[in-house]
Chains A and B, each alone.
Chain A
Amino acid sequence: AQTVTQSQPEMSVQEAETVTLSCTYDTSENNYYLFWYKQPPSRQMILVIRQEAYKQQNATENRFSVNFQKAAKSFSLKISDSQLGDTAMYFCAFMKIQGAQKLVFGQGTRLTINP
């Protein structure tokens, strides 16, 4: 079974700083997708970024980028020039391509951006 681990329950940085959120996962699959979701206080789940395992190039979306290390099964999220609106819970998630396409989440990291 796939598992996703986020080892940082809470993080706090100053506005405009860069912050990196960690995520590791365990799987025997070779092809899969990884995601970072954001859950602001409204509790609406919002996709931040996705990564396809067979692509070596790290995904980027504006201020958000990932460091995908397939051999190490690591998928960290870097937020550059952090903004107050980035304050939220961040979840790392895994979905395999073959077989049962269930989306498995980590426990989340509560990120606070301070003014």
Chain B
Amino acid sequence: SQTIHQWPATLVQPVGSPLSLECTVEGTSNPNLYWYRQAAGRGLQLLFYSVGIGQISSEVPQNLSASRPQDRQFILSSKKLLLSDSGFYLCAWSVRPLRGTEAFFGQGTRLTVV
């Protein structure tokens, strides 16, 4: 069966420090991969999505970047965190090509920038 791992679950980082959140998928190959951010009590904002290794699409200009060094690994990074980067980050995957399957989500990372 397919599973998705996202870590860490919580993270407190000072302003100006770097960030690396990792997401890996097991049990499937060539998935679509997504990074979302959810501000407190708000909806999910799509940050990045990827349809293959090295193929990253950015949805909003921001202080973050994403990389996909392996087929089932998706990394969210920042060189210098801002206070506004605080939030709940969710990684997700879906089957390619799309056949009506839903996206499967990780447990999320609560990031607090102090």
- Chain A residues in contact with chain B, CB under 8 A? 6, 33, 35, 37, 43-45, 47, 50, 52, 91, 93, 95, 97, 100-108, 110
Contacts and interface: CB of A to CB of B under 8 A. Distances in A.
Chain B: interface size category: 20 to 34
B57 A102 contact: yes
A5 to B, nearest CB: 10
A61 to B, nearest CB: 12
Q: Which of A52, A95, A101 counts the most chain B CB atoms within 10 A?
A: A101
Contacts, number: 60
A45 B105 contact: yes
A50 B51 contact: no
A107 B46 CA distance: 12
B6 to A, nearest CB: 11
Contacts of B97: 101
Contacts of A52: 100
Contact of B102 (A6, A35, A100, A101): A35
B98 A45 contact: no
Interface of B: 32, 34, 36, 41-46, 49, 51, 57, 59, 88, 90, 92, 94, 96-98, 100, 102-103, 105, 107-108
Q: Tell me the interface secondary structure of chain A in the complex.
A: strand
B57 A100 contact: yes
A105 B46 contact: yes
Q: Which 5 A-B pairs have the closest CB atoms?
A: A107-B43, A45-B105, A105-B44, A47-B102, A108-B43
Contact of A102 (B49, B100, B102): B49
A103 B94 contact: yes
